[in-house]
Structure 1
Amino acid sequence: MIHARDLARTFKTKAGSVEAVRGLSLDVAEGELVAFLGPNGAGKSTALRMLTTLLPPSSGSASVGGHDVVSDPAAVRRQIGYVGQGTQLGPLSPGARRAGKPGQGAAHEHDGGSEARR
């Protein structure tokens, strides 16, 4: 389902080059769950952004669902769902306001959520 070989991403900075991901190789079969764990700056988000076609790799190759992330990104995107770390899912996010809180009626977007407050 997900195959990556020697995936790498280098960013250019004023101070020089920074290797965010170096030589990532992995195979994830259909139905397997995988977690990327590591300290801040370890390249977890960069690796996922490459695998989801949001960021092109500097080198290496990857395919998701049998489709190459560089040559066929549209097909990859049709196969996946991705919620990045910057997505607001807290109680004040727009999605949470529309859905209402447990025990309350669902808010309706057209009225700014007023029904959930009644």
Structure 2
Amino acid sequence: MKGYVYTICVFLTLIIMLTLYDVISYEKYTNELESAVALYPECDFKGNPVYISKGQFTADDLKPLGFSRGLVGSIKILDASAVDLFEHDYFQGRHLRLMDDEECLAFQGFSGITTSIIVS
């Protein structure tokens, strides 16, 4: 019986830790006031933006925010000097550096391919 209770306690502890990690991670990237960049799914800053802070973001980092590959149509730079977009995960493939807002990534030939991002 002790082994069963111990297993349940460990399992519940893991669930609580993972839930807290998700909440903390989500809040870190979605707080508009502390964000460096707003990623919009459509051109002309339309749609619900995803807010991220300065840092490096792989596809796995962006997934909890509801971001999936290619869903960046426009970008507002709120508090960053540059945003680097990459075609492939882990900062590989074609690359586009933005230092100002971009109302339509299609104009840059970079629509529908962003997979990883560096905000500096």
Normalising by structure 1, report the TM-score.
0.27
Structure having the larger proportion of residues in helix:
2
Q: Which has the larger radius of gyration?
A: 1
